[in-house]
Amino acid sequence: MNIYSYTSSAKIIKNWVGEKKKTDKTLNFTSLAEGIGVQKAFISQVLTDKANLNLDQAFQIAQHLNFNEEEKEYFLLIVEKERSGLASRKEELTKKIKELQKNFGGSKKSVQAHFLDTEKSEDFMREYFLDPYHSIVHVHLTVPEHVRNPFGLAEKLGLSRERLERIFKVLHGLEVIEFEAKKKSVKVLKERLHTVDQNQLNANQQVLFRALSLERLITVQKDKRMAFNVTYSADAKTFAEVQKEFHIFIQKVGELVGSAPASEVYQLNFDLFPWS
């Protein structure tokens, strides 16, 4: 989970515990309360924004949830901002929070993406997540050529006209684009889009997207593709260093992409995880 996607301590705790308890059955809100020496009722109040953590409690939670040093610093800044009643102090803390988001927020922040509103129509959301072509079509619409001739994407991507039109309608329903079927016109409202990491449908989409990417990869000319795969042994410190280097790399990619004219659509995938 990427905690830098959130600016609420309650959402960080709720989503972190929800994600981690999938692999650690001992982690829940009861064990969290016991771990920091408070009643579970207090944690419930924190999660519903009816109570605030003090900084010592926030520090204990960060330790109990095994945040790394940067995540701990970010979480404490969030809590400090929530507790502050001084506007100038809140402004100063917001700047520090944004700086950490920029440095450690991964691809979401470094490419200046909009986050998909997961409270939109459930039907549209499900369609969006279960068909990677929604993302692919969306990005193609940032290219002026395809905005001028949106239905030309059907042939380019090997989609039926009916399927492409349905994708336009889903993106319209999610307020990502404006689509007028009668005029056959499309206007992009949000150029780059990301979803919250812990959403299960998002996890499903990533699997489908990866399968589609591999299918596409083998059809691309060798001089127009790059692929890399390695299995290595190291220690936790090295793993963390690799993660840090990846964030730096993604930030640089974001800077390059952000200043580049949109004339073609490319795919970049990256996986880093422990086997055991």
pLDDT (tens digit per residue) in 119-147: 556 778 788 888 999 999 999 998 888 98
Same domain? 202 vs 259: yes
At 107, is the pLDDT very low, low, confident or very high (cuts 50, 70, 90)? very low
Residue where a domain stops, chosen among 76, 104, 132: 104
At 109, is the pLDDT very low, low, confident or very high (cuts 50, 70, 90)? very low
pLDDT at site 192: 63
CA 195 vs CA 94, 120, 129: distances in Å: 22, 12, 10
pLDDT at site 263: 87
Q: Which phi and psi angles does 157 have, rounded to 5°? A: -100, 0
Q: What's the average model confidence in pLDDT over 9-22?
A: 87
3-state secondary structure 229-272: CCCCCCCHHHHHHHHHHHHHHHHHHHHHHHCCCCCCCCCCCCCC
b/e 230-249 (16+ beta carbons within 10 angstroms → b): eeeeeeeeeeeeeeeeebee
At 110, is the pLDDT very low, low, confident or very high (cuts 50, 70, 90)? very low
Pinpoint the alpha helices (H) of the chain.
9-20, 29-36, 40-47, 55-64, 69-83, 87-104, 106-110, 122-129, 133-140, 144-148, 153-157, 161-173, 200-217, 236-258
Q: Which residues contact 80 (CB under 8 A, 6 or more apart)?
A: 55, 93
Q: Rounded to an integer, what is the distance from CA 57 to the centroid of its chain?
A: 27
CA 65 vs CA 21, 41, 68, 238, 270: distances in Å: 11, 19, 9, 21, 25
Same domain? 45 vs 99: yes
Helix (H) or strand (E) holding 193: strand 193-194
pLDDT at site 201: 64
Q: What's the average model confidence in pLDDT over 213-220?
A: 90
Which has more confidence, 188 or 113?
188
Q: Which residues contact 197 (CB under 8 A, 6 or more apart)?
A: 1, 2, 5, 19
Give pLDDT tens digits for 67-100.
Answer: 888 889 999 999 999 999 999 999 999 999 988 8
Residue where a domain stops, chosen among 49, 71, 104: 104
Q: Kindly tell me if the per-residue pLDDT of 206 is higher than 50.
A: yes
Burial class (CB in 10 A: 0-12, 13-18, 19+), 214: exposed
Query: What does DSSP assign to residue 191?
Result: S
Q: What's the average model confidence in pLDDT over 15-43?
A: 88
Give pLDDT tens digits for 147-160.
Answer: 889 999 999 999 99
pLDDT at site 250: 84
Residue in 139, 154, 143 with CA at minimum distance from that of residue 184: 154
Same domain? 99 vs 195: no
Q: What's the average model confidence in pLDDT over 34-46?
A: 94
Same domain? 98 vs 159: no
Contact 155, 145 (CB under 8 A): no
Give pLDDT tens digits for 158-199.
Answer: 999 999 999 999 999 988 899 998 888 898 887 665 555 445
Which has more confidence, 244 or 112?
244
Same domain? 150 vs 92: no
Supply the Cα-derived Rg of the chain in whole angstroms: 21
Residue where a domain stops, chosen among 104, 129, 157: 104
**Per DSSP, what are the bridge partners of residue 186?**
179
- Percent of the chain past pLDDT 90, that is, above it, reads 46
Question: What residue type is 164 in one-letter code?
Answer: L
pLDDT at site 112: 44
pLDDT at site 113: 47
Same domain? 217 vs 245: yes
Collapse the DSSP code of 30 into the 3-class scheme (helix H, G, I; strand E, B; otherwise coil) and give the result.
Answer: helix
Same domain? 48 vs 183: no
Please report, for the domain that includes residue 96, its CATH number.
Answer: 1.10.260.40
Same domain? 70 vs 92: yes
Same domain? 147 vs 271: yes
Q: Give the structural domain span for 14.
A: 3-104
Same domain? 75 vs 148: no
Same domain? 64 vs 119: no
Q: What is the pTM of this model?
A: 0.57
Same domain? 52 vs 171: no
Give pLDDT tens digits for 232-271.
Answer: 999 988 988 998 898 888 878 877 877 778 889 999 888 8
Number of domains the chain is built from: 2
